[in-house]
Amino acid sequence: MKVLVAVKRVVDYNVKVRVKADNSGVDLANVKMSMNPFCEIAVEEAVRLKEKGVATEIVVVTIGPSTAQEQLRTALALGADRAILVEAADELNSLAVAKLLKAVVDKEQPQLVILGKQAIDSDNNQTGQMLAALTGFGQGTFASKVDVAGDKVSVTREIDGGLQTVSLNLPAIVTTDLRLNEPRYASLPNIMKAKKKPLETVTPDALGVSVASTNKTVKVEAPAARSAGIKVKSVAELVEKLKNEAKVI
Amino acid sequence: MTILVIAEHEKGAVAPATLNTVAAAAKIGGDVHVLVAGQGVGAVAEAAAKIAGVAKVLVADNAAYAHFLPENVAPLVVELASAYSHVLAPATSNGKNVLPRVAAQLDVDQISEIISVESADTFKRPIYAGNAIATVQSSAAIKVITVRATGFDAVAAEGGSAAIEAVGAAHDAGKSSFVGEELAKSDRPELTAAKIVVSGGRGMQNGDNFKHLYALADKLGAAVGASRAAVDAGFVPNDMQVGQTGKIVAPQLYIAVGISGAIQHLAGMKDSKVIVAINKDEEAPIFQVADYGLVADLFEAVPELEKLV
C-alpha cells in the first residue's frame, strides 16, 4: 500500500519567536527552521509501516517555499521513497493546504495519508480533518496507535478523558499525536543517499487549485507580559502570601 | 445573526466547556442556539435548555452520533449551518476533531481556539505556542470557530428556558466505527475546569511520588496535572498533561512542582491568575512567570505545604 505523508517547514520548536515591531507577524529572518515535530512522527510511522511490510511506497509532500526542500530531503533520509514540493510563495491557510493535498491525493491515490495533528507555528489543528472532508475519507485524529489490518485501519486516539479506538475504512487520514512513536535520526549515509532520491516540484496552478482564503490576519502582537514575581523563603511564607496577599486559598 | 453552538457533553451532562463557548457566542451577539448530538441525550438537551442566554436547543438523538464520530456528525452540522452566521464549538478533542471537517465542507477557513471576540467577524487567537497573539478577520459567510474555554468566563448553567426541537436528519457515512474507550478514572475536579491545579514534572522522579501532589490537591480541592516530561517518563497518564500539546488551563492558582517551565508547558498554563513554582533549581525558567517562587526540595516543601494549608 502507498502511504502519503505531509510535512511542514516551521520555525524550530526551541526558538523563542519575536513579534515584528510593525505587528505584521513574527520575525522569521535568520531563524532556525525545522520539520514540524508532529510531522516527524508522521514520517516515522510511515517508515515503521514500511518496515513491517504494510507500506510499499512512502511519498512525502510539502507545500511551501523552495527552501522546504530541506525538510523533504530530511524525510527522504529517514526512509521516504520520493518527494513532492508544491511550491507556494506565501504562507497558506489550512483550507488552501488541504485543497492542494487533495489534488496530490487524487494524483497519487494513496491508501493512507498521515499528517501531524498540528503545526507548532499556526497551532491550527485543521489540515488533516479538512483533507478528510475534501477526500471523503474517514479520519483518525490525534493518533497514539495505528494498526492496519486488511482494508481497515484501527486508530487509538488521545481524547480529553483518556483514549478512544476507532476503526476506519481505507483509504483513510491519520493525524499523529506526540505519543505515537519516537522519531529516529537520519544517519549520514542515508542523508547522502537521500540526495539522489526523486524530488518533483509542482505549482498550485498546475494542480488547478485556488489558494484564496476567507481569513485575514490583521495584526500580530506579543502576549501581555506577566509582572515579575517574588521568591519566598519558606513554605510558611508562601502559605501566608497565598492566603493574605493573593487570596487564592 | 444567529449562532450555532455545538454542545460538548459527557456521561449525560453538559460539559463545562459548553458554558464558556456560549459565553463567546453571547459576545458575538445575536440569538444563540445549541446543538446536542449523540445517543440518548434527552437529559443533556434539557440541561442545555436551562443555560442562560440560549434561545433554542436542537437535539439530534441517533445511534450514528454516539461517540461523536466526525464522519457522521460533520454532515449534520453542515446541513444545519446554512441557517447560521457562526458555528462555534469548544476547543475540546471533539470540537477540534469535527469542526475543521465542517469548515472544509462549507468551503471556509476555520479560526481555531479564539481567546477573545473583537467584533462579529474579528477574533484573537494565540499562535506559536502562545508566544504571539494574532487578530484574525473572517470574510466567510458562515464563520466556523473553536473557542478556548479558558478565554471566556462561563455563563450560568441555570436560568434559561429555551425551546427544544428535534432534528430528524441522520447521517451515517459508514466509513468509521467506534471500537472502544479507555477513560482515566479520577474523583478530583476536571483539569480544565478546576479553580486550583497542582502539577508535577520530571522532578517528581517517579509515579509513586505523585501521591504527595494528590494529598495536597485533595486538601485544596484541586486537580492534578503534569508536564510532558512527567508523562513521557510514564509517571502519569497523558490526559493529565498541561501544555501546548495537552490541556490548556487557566485556574485561579497553579502550583508547578518540579517543573522547569519549557515553552511547551508554559503555553498551557501561563494565563493562570497566580502561579507558584516549587523547584530546587533557582535558574529554572518557571521562576520567570511565577508570582511566588520557592527554591526548595519538593519532597520537603510539598508535605509541609499540605500541613499548612
| Calpha distance B152→B197 (Å, rounded) | 18
Q: Write the pLDDT tens digit of every residue in A71-121.
A: 999 999 999 999 999 999 778 999 999 999 999 999 999 999 999 999 999
Report CB contact under 8 Å: B175, A26. Answer: no
How many residues make up chain A in this entry? 249
DSSP string, B39-78: SS-HHHHHHHHTSTT--EEEEEE-GGGGGG-HHHHHHHHH
Report CB contact under 8 Å: B108, A246. Answer: no
pLDDT of residue B187: 84
Pairing, β B143-147 against β B132-138: unpaired
Tell me the pLDDT of chain B averaged across its residues: 95
Nearest to A161 among B69, B111, B183 (CB): B183
End-to-end CA, chain B: 49
Q: Are the CB atoms for A167 and B179 separated by under 8 Å?
A: yes
Report CB contact under 8 Å: B69, A166. Answer: yes
Chosen for mutation from A32, A175, A242, A244 (greatest number of chain B CBs closer than 10 Å) is A242
| Strand ranges, E, within B84-162 | 86-90, 110-114, 116-119, 122-127, 132-138, 143-147
Report CB contact under 8 Å: A222, B133. Answer: yes
| Calpha distance B21→B149 (Å, rounded) | 7
pTM: 0.94
pLDDT of residue B245: 84
User: Which ranges constitute the DSSP H helices of chain B?
Assistant: 16-28, 42-49, 70-81, 93-106, 210-220, 228-232, 263-269, 298-308
Q: Write the pLDDT tens digit of every residue in A151-210.
A: 999 999 999 888 999 999 999 999 999 889 999 999 999 999 999 999 999 999 999 999
Count Cα atoms within 13 angstroms, Cβ side, for A126. 28
Q: Are the CB atoms for A198 and A83 separated by under 8 Å?
A: yes
Nearest to B96 among A125, A130, A213 (CB): A125
Residue B252 has pLDDT above 90, yes or no: yes
pLDDT of residue A14: 84
| Calpha distance A5→A116 (Å, rounded) | 9
Question: Which residue of chain A comes nearest to B142, CA vs CA?
Answer: A214
Peptide bond into A171 cis (omega under 30): yes
Residue A10 has pLDDT above 80, yes or no: yes
Chosen for mutation from A97, A102, A123 (greatest number of chain B CBs closer than 10 Å) is A123
Q: Write the pLDDT tens digit of every residue in A203-227.
A: 999 999 999 999 999 999 999 888 8
Query: What residue type is assigned to position B226 of the chain?
Result: A
Q: Which H or E run includes A116?
A: strand A112-116
Our CA-based measurement puts residue A247 at a distance from the nearest CA of chain B, in whole angstroms, of 10
| Calpha distance A162→B191 (Å, rounded) | 13
| Calpha distance B201→B261 (Å, rounded) | 9
pLDDT of residue B170: 84
pLDDT of residue A154: 98
- Of the pLDDT bands very low, low, confident and very high (cuts 50, 70, 90), residue B212 is very high
CA B256 to each of CA A77, A210, B301: distance values in angstroms, whole numbers, following the listed order: 39, 47, 12
pLDDT of residue A179: 86
Our CA-based measurement puts residue A248 at a distance from the nearest CA of chain B, in whole angstroms, of 6
